[in-house]
């Protein structure tokens, strides 16, 4: 079982998504576990302050190192306690940052080999750089754009990593995992749009939109070849 510990100031945004479909089932089957940790629990002042203004000036606020340090320490200590003696927990601490290494399928597979992934979601202007340098094992970006927080990146990582955990996917979904992603079609074999605005390779006609013939042929060798040719 792989445990995802997500450190965030918005734990409430995760629930409905995590309960749905494949991820919901994976948790019920105890193949994965997701803990949502509110960073404010690790503050010591009355206002539960997690952020402060940036040194050197400039707009916005920066997430402080202390609460993040305490949260990570506590999560590592907790996981040490649960494990049967002798077996060492493999933990990886990940910080989400637009400057991190770009996330891809290979990274997802590599991370699926850990017992515990501690995911730190940033907010505001980002996270005190000492977290990247001294607390996180790696920094990950999910793409070349700026989001408002690390919550969506955490969900993206949890889903992509979980799909590599044995038993999480049914037979049907795992096919894509092996063969790469290919285009798919379903009934009807020909769809005729009512308006003339739908474009088709034949031009803006009202002709039907057809499914590639080979997929209707029942010839599985040919179908496999077609999928391989069109897969990424």
Among 119, 142, 157, 158, binds ligand SAH (CB under 6 A): 142
Considering the rule CB under 6 A, would residue 119 count as an interface residue with ligand SAH? Answer: no
Considering the rule CB under 6 A, would residue 54 count as an interface residue with ligand SAH? Answer: no
E strand map for the chain: 2-8, 32-38, 51-52, 62-63, 91-102, 116-120, 138-141, 190-191, 209-210
Closest distance to ligand SAH from the beta carbon of 64 (Å): 13
Cβ neighbourhood burial of 178 (10 Å; 0-12, 13-18, 19+): exposed
Tokens 């609460």, located at residue: 67
Q: Which is nearer to ligand SAH, 61 or 165 (CB)?
A: 61
Closest distance to ligand SAH from the beta carbon of 80 (Å): 26
Tokens 């749905």, located at residue: 20
- What is the spatial distance between Cα 46 and Cα 169, in angstroms, rounded to a whole number? 45
Among 141, 208, 209, 210, binds ligand SAH (CB under 6 A): 141
Among 125, 209, 211, 215, binds ligand SAH (CB under 6 A): 125
Which residues contribute to the site for ligand SAH (CB under 6 A)?
96-99, 121-123, 125-127, 141-143, 145-147, 149-150, 153
């Amino acid at each position: 079982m792989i445990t995802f510990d997500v450190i965030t100031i918005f734990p409430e945004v995760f629930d409905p998504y995590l309960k749905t479909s494949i991820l919901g089932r994976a948790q019920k089957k105890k193949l994965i576990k997701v803990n949502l940790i509110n960073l404010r629990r690790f503050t010591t002042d009355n206002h539960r302050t997690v952020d402060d203004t940036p040194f050197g000036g400039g707009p916005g606020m920066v997430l402080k190192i202390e609460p993040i340090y305490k949260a990570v320490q506590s999560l590592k200590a907790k996981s040490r306690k649960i494990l049967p003696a002798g077996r060492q927990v493999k933990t990886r601490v990940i910080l989400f940052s637009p400057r991190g290494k770009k996330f891809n399928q290979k990274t997802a597979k590599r991370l699926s080999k850990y017992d515990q992934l501690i995911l730190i979601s940033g907010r505001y202007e980002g996270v005190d750089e000492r977290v990247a340098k001294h607390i996180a094992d790696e920094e990950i970006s999910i793409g070349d754009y700026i989001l408002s927080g690390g919550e969506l990146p955490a969900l993206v990582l949890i889903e992509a990593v979980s799909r590599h955990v044995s038993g999480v996917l049914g037979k049907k979904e795992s096919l894509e995992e092996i063969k790469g992603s290919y285009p798919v079609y379903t009934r009807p074999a020909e769809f005729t749009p009512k308006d003339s605005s739908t474009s088709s390779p034949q031009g803006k006609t009202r002709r039907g939109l057809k499914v590639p013939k080979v997929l209707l042929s029942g010839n599985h060798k040919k179908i496999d070849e077609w999928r391989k040719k069109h897969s990424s």
